[in-house]
Each structure stands twice: as C-alpha cells, then as structure tokens.
Structure 1
C-alpha cells in the first residue's frame, strides 16, 4: 500500500486532508506538533480523530517555536486578536516559518517510513494572510525537499507535496469533507484554548463563515 505523511493538527483543514488521503488508498502516517502553542486543544482533537479514523502511526513531535516567540499563538505576552473579516495585514497569529518547519519534519518522516507523498491542508483562497499557504511556497518547498533527500536526489520516486485545497474555499472544502464522512464535531479550530470555541478569533470566524456558505451547521459549540 502506498504511504503518505499527513500534517495533522486536529483542525478542520488537516482532518479533511487526512480523510482525503485515506479515501485515495494511502496508508496514513499522521504527524502532529507540540511546538509551544498556548493550548493543547488541537492536539487532544488530533489524538481522538487518529484513534477513531485509524492511521498506521500518529507521531507528535515536540519542538519549541515559543523559544523566540513572535506570534500570538506562542508568545504569552501577546494577546490573540479579535477576528476581522476583511483583514489585509498579516495577523499576529502568524507563526514565523511554521509550515516551512513542519514540512521539513514531514520530509524526514516520509523518507524514514518510505512515503512519497506529504499532505498539507493549506488554501490560498480562504486564509488569514499567511504567506506559507501559497502555491509558490508549496512548489519551492517541494523542490528543496527533493534536493535535500536521498529519495528525491538519487531515486526515481521523488516526494510530492499534496495541497488538495490550495484553490478551494473553506466552504468547498467542507462540502468535500461531508462527502468523505468527516466528523467535524471532533475537530478544534479556535486560537483560544478555552472550554468552548470563542467564535470571534480569525480562525473561528473563517470556520463559521465556511459552514454557513456550505449550507451546514457547525457541529462544535461556541461561547
């Protein structure tokens, strides 16, 4: 069976990507990160989902992007900003080079387990101004990975970064997820790690907007 590494946070996008990879017949190796984020709600969701869906392996890598801060998600001195539907500037929830770091880990993991596909649930249509959610970035990372791995540089089966939602809106992604049978009630998207999702951070607002546009009720509870 062909193998794939799925970058898996436990959020809406990565969970849909995991279901999609399984639907395509991949043996899934889920890769999550404890990177110094301010709460563990997404990681708890990731564990529940991985256990329910069934994966070949679920690895949680511990690293520390909070060592230098620079993001409201990792720096205790910075507050999570209120969401803005028409935001134009890059928000403070952007974690410097996070997807670059995560994809580098995924490339190492993929080479170790013999996977030639890496799934990442990014979109450049509906996103909060994150520069590492663009097709240009994905293409550049794929080239770098295949220049820096044996399977890419010396073999005939290079690693491919699959970004299946890159040109989809979140609403279109949810429609696909519903077709795949994704249980969105298990996912967590809120930037705040409280008992209930806040409903007013960028992530919550994008999620709520997407469910409304897709014509479904969001199954998680909000404050």
Structure 2
C-alpha cells in the first residue's frame, strides 16, 4: 500500500485531508505539532481523530516556536483578536513560517518511512490571508524538498505535496468530509483553546460561516 504523511492539527481542514488520503487508498502516517500554541486542546482532538481513523502511526512533535513569539497563537502577551471583516492585513494569528517548518518535518518523516506523498489542509479560499497557505508556496516547498532529500536526488523517488483543499470553499469541504465519514464534532478550530469555542475569532467565524453555507449543524459548542 502507498504511504502518505498527513499533517494533522486536529482542526477541520487537516481532518478532512486525512479522510481524503484514506479514501484514495493511502496508508496514513499522521504528524501533529505541540509548538507552544495556546490552543493545545487541538492536540487532544488530533489524538482522537487519528485513533478513530485508524492511522498507521501518529507522532506528535514537540518544538518551542513560542520561544520567539511573534503571533497571538504563541505569545501570551498578544491577545487573540476577534475577526475583523474590514481588515486587509494579515492577522496577528499568523505564526511565522509555521507551514514551512511543518512541511520540513513531514519531508524528513516521509523519507524515513518511504512515503512519497505529504498531505496538508491549506486553502487560499475562505481563509485568513496567510502567505503559507497559497499554491505558490506549496509548489516552492515541494521543489525545495526534492532538491534536499536523498530519495529524490539519488533515487528518483520524488515527494509530492498534496493540498486537495487549496482551491475549495470551506462549505464544499465540509460536504465532502461528511460524505467521507468525518465527524466534525471531534475537531477543534478556535484559536483561544478554552472549554468552549469563542465563536468570534478569525478561525471560528470562518468555520461557522462554512457550516451555515453548507446547511449543516456544527456539533462543537460555542460561547457566542
């Protein structure tokens, strides 16, 4: 069976991508990160999702991206803001080069287990404008990975970064996920990571909008 590394945050997008990989016949190796994020609740969700999906292996990498902060998700001195629909700026919830770091780990993991596919749940539709969620970035990272791995350079076994949601609206993503058996009630999206989702941060607002457009009920509990 062909193998794939799936970057699994415990959120809606990464869970959908995991089920896509399984539906396409991959043996899934899930990779999550404890990177110093304040919403560590998503890691508990990632564990439950990986267990429910029956992945081959689930590894949680611990790294301290909170050591330098620079994001509301990793710096306790910066508050997580509510979504501002009028703003054209990249939100302070952007974590510097996060997907670049995650994909580098995934490339190492892929080479170690003999996987030639990495799945990531990025989208440049219905998103926060993060620069590391664009197709151009994915293409550049794939090229870099294949320039810097023995499996690609010496053995001709190139690694492909699969981003099946990159051009998909979140409402369509939810409909697809439901058809594949995703239980979105197990996922966590809120940046604040409290007992209940806030309903007002950037991530919550995008999620709620998607469920409304999909005409489906979101089973996650919200404060607002």
Unpaired runs of at least 5, structure 1? none
What secondary structure, in the 3-state scheme, does the structure 2 residue paired with 1:151 have?
helix
Q: Over aligned residues, Cα RMSD in angstroms?
A: 0.7
Alignment match, 1:3: 3
Q: Does 1:32 align with 2:29?
A: no
Alignment match, 1:65: 65
How far off is 1:33 after superposition? Answer: 0.2
Equivalence map 1:48-197=2 (5 Å): 48-197=48-197
What secondary structure, in the 3-state scheme, does the structure 1 residue paired with 2:125 have?
coil
Equivalence map 1:2-21=2 (5 Å): 2-21=2-21
What secondary structure, in the 3-state scheme, does the structure 1 residue paired with 2:91 have?
coil
The whole-number CA distance in structure 2 between the counterparts of 1:139 and 1:115 is 18
The whole-number CA distance in structure 2 between the counterparts of 1:5 and 1:123 is 18
Whether the aligned pair in 2 keeps the contact of 1:85 and 1:205 (CA below 8 Å) is: no
The whole-number CA distance in structure 2 between the counterparts of 1:7 and 1:196 is 24
What secondary structure, in the 3-state scheme, does the structure 2 residue paired with 1:6 have?
strand
Alignment match, 1:205: 205
Alignment match, 2:44: 44
Whether the aligned pair in 1 keeps the contact of 2:199 and 2:222 (CA below 8 Å) is: yes
How far off is 1:177 after superposition? Answer: 0.4
Q: Give the length in aligned residue pairs.
A: 223
The whole-number CA distance in structure 1 between the counterparts of 2:88 and 2:106 is 30
TM-score of the superposed pair, with normalisation by structure 1: 0.98
The whole-number CA distance in structure 1 between the counterparts of 2:142 and 2:115 is 14
The whole-number CA distance in structure 1 between the counterparts of 2:26 and 2:209 is 31
How far off is 1:151 after superposition? Answer: 1.1
How far off is 1:106 after superposition? Answer: 0.2
Deviations 1:29-68 (A, max 9, x none): 0000000101311000000111111100000000011110
